Structure 1
Amino acid sequence: MIPLSDDNPTVRIPVMTILLLAGITSAWVILQGAGFDVEILAMSVCNLGMVPAELTGAAPLGTSVPLTRTLLCVVDAEPLNWISPLSSMFLHGSWAHLLGNGLFLWVFGNNVEDVMGRGRFLLFYLLCGLAAAAVHVWMQPGSPVPTVGASGAISGAMGAYLVLFPRVRVRMLFIFVIFFRIIPLPAWVVLLWWFGLQVLLGLPDLAALPETGGGVAVWAHVGGFVAGALLVRAFERDELTARRRAMLLQRGLLDIRH
């Protein structure tokens, strides 16, 4: 299932959501060469991505993993490693990774920004991303595999959306081999299904040795989602919520929004 849009108008232009999308796109183009040069892409992932073992010291210095046929990513002790939980949020591994995250951020982020305000939403987004990174490091402390992507922070926006707008209809694209169909579903169905899938995919990691791991950081998604659901009320601004309610009431849409 792929979210395309929702029946949830915003009161204000989602400036911060747009800036975040511009930021991750700029990083993809400027720092990662838009993925056209495999070596540049791999070096950006290795140098600016988050390597759990570099933060915990749970793997010996010099431990390496191959990223390309000629490039290894080596566990080191560079000071830059300590900002990697933040820098990794703005990097991606492929066009599909970038576009998928961008779509989820746009569909679920703009309304969350609408009830928080721009500055609060930015702080909320970054905190959820850091929480997601912390959960991933906790689950895979000895992993030498670099992780990148905005999905942890975006998962936070999704958790917040579940709390704020559980009954809003989200248009989901279903792909059945060669057939395509758009089906509107309540947000709670979409988001709880997505969350449950992340937990299911992460269960094998619970049985893995703590010094191993890698691949998709599904527990980061879980951590970001839970952080967003828990933090949303602390970041919500009452006056912005009241403004939204007044607008929706005027349009006769309040019954499906809250």
Structure 2
Amino acid sequence: MVIPVHDVNPVRRTPYVTYALIAANFVVFLFTPGIASSVAGQSDLSQLCHLQAFLDHYAAVPRELIHDQLPRLVPTGAAGVGPHGPGCVVAPPGYHKSPPASVFTAMFLHGSWLHLLGNMLFLLIFGNNIEDRLGHFRFALFYVACGYAAGYGFALLNDTSGDPLIGASGAIAGVLGAYLVLYPRVRVWILVPFLLFLPLRLPAWIVLGFWFVLQAFYSSGQGVSSAGTVAYAAHVVGFVVGMILAWPLRSGTPAPPEPRGLRWGRQARPGW
């Protein structure tokens, strides 16, 4: 696994949409019921049931997306004791859920600080340049389109699954795919875990190409015991869709000039 920290790719305008998406993801995470206590390791059964009820309402579920099969019983958010011991109380849903709308709301839900921070780091580093190239409004549409493609693509491959799908990684994978198409030769500073962390500056086509190959490898079930909680197939679909949408713009996007005297992708000061 590599950690990107900076790209040598200046922008012409402030990436307001990218900043707004990052802020929205943090706000939603902090106000998700039960999430603050669960990430601190202080969750009790009631808090976990509350979180599960919230995710069942707002997360995307493959079976619901493909077959429109909404569950007859859902967690109410309360905990109780049943014939098999303590658990979450279930009842007919007291709300109407739109499966297509749940793909959008799921883009702003995250299950842990690590999940959130990892996604937002990639969006911060690579999203500003795609927004700069597309413009604010078109970038917002592009981001949502990639997120929907990733969500439905994953659902088509897992149409019987009732597990909630959450996270912005499908939409962000589309941003990475577009970046690979538009700025393949831009240098990206990364940290590679080797003893501690080894800083390297590599072309984007190596960094993002390696990321995509790794996601495709994991999505096939190789290298992991099971798919677990990571929707690798959604990453693959989002990445490919982002590449396709960005391809018509490729010829009009020259590589930005790289300044001399760089330290970690920034202009070195005199005397360094």
Q: TM-score range by the shorter chain?
A: 0.7 to 0.9
Partner of 2:11: 10
Q: 1:86 to 1:250 in 2, by over 3 A?
A: closer
Structure richer in helix, relative to its length: 1
Is residue 123 of structure 1 aligned with residue 133 of structure 2?
no
Match of 1:142 in 2: 160
Mapped contact 2:64–2:70 kept (Cα < 8 A):
no
Residue 108 in structure 1 maps to residue 146 in structure 2? no
Question: Structure 1, residues 115-143: CA drift from partner, whole Å, max 9, x if none?
Answer: 00000000000000000011111100010
Instruction: Report the secondary structure of 1:90's partner residue.
Output: coil
Residue correspondence of structure 1 range 195-210 to structure 2 within 5 A? 195-204=212-221
Given the alignment of the two structures, is residue 158 of structure 1 paired with residue 176 of structure 2, yes or no? yes
Match of 2:59 in 1: 49
Deviates more, 1:149-158 or 1:50-59: 50-59
For the aligned residue pairs, the C-alpha RMSD in angstroms reads: 3.3
C-alpha separation between the residues in 2 aligned to 1:222 and 1:63? Answer: 32
Task: Provide TM-score, normalisation by structure 2.
Answer: 0.77
1:89 aligned partner: 107
Shift of 1:107: 0.8
AA of the residue aligned to 1:43 = A
Aligned in 2, Cα 1:74/1:94: closer, same or farther, shift over 3 Å? Answer: farther
Q: Which residue does the alignment assign to 1:256?
A: none
Question: Which ranges of structure 1 fall in alignment gaps of 5 or more residues?
Answer: 206-212, 253-258
Q: Which amino acid aligns with 1:41?
A: L
Residue 198 (structure 2) aligned to one of 181, 193, 201: 181
Deviation at 1:43, TM superposition (A): 2.9
- 2:6–2:189: 8 Å Cα contact kept in structure 1? yes
Match for residue 190 of structure 2?
172
Is the CA contact (8 Å cut-off) linking 1:60 and 1:75 kept in structure 2?
A: no
Paired residues of 1:59 and 1:143 also in contact (CA < 8 A): no
The offset of 1:78, in angstroms, is: 3.8
In 2 relative to 1, CA 250–60 (structure 1 residues): closer, same or farther, beyond 3 Å? Answer: closer
Q: Which residue of 214, 223, 229 maps to 2:237? A: 223
CA positional deviation for 1:80: 3.3
1:232 corresponds to which letter in structure 2? A
Instruction: Compute the TM-score of the two structures, normalised by the length of structure 1.
Output: 0.81
Please, which runs of 5 or more residues in structure 2 have no aligned partner? 39-46, 80-85, 261-272
Q: Distance in 1 between matches of 2:98 and 2:129?
A: 34
The structure-2 alpha-carbon separation of the partners of 1:236 and 1:89, relative to structure 1 and needing over 3 Å to count, comes to farther
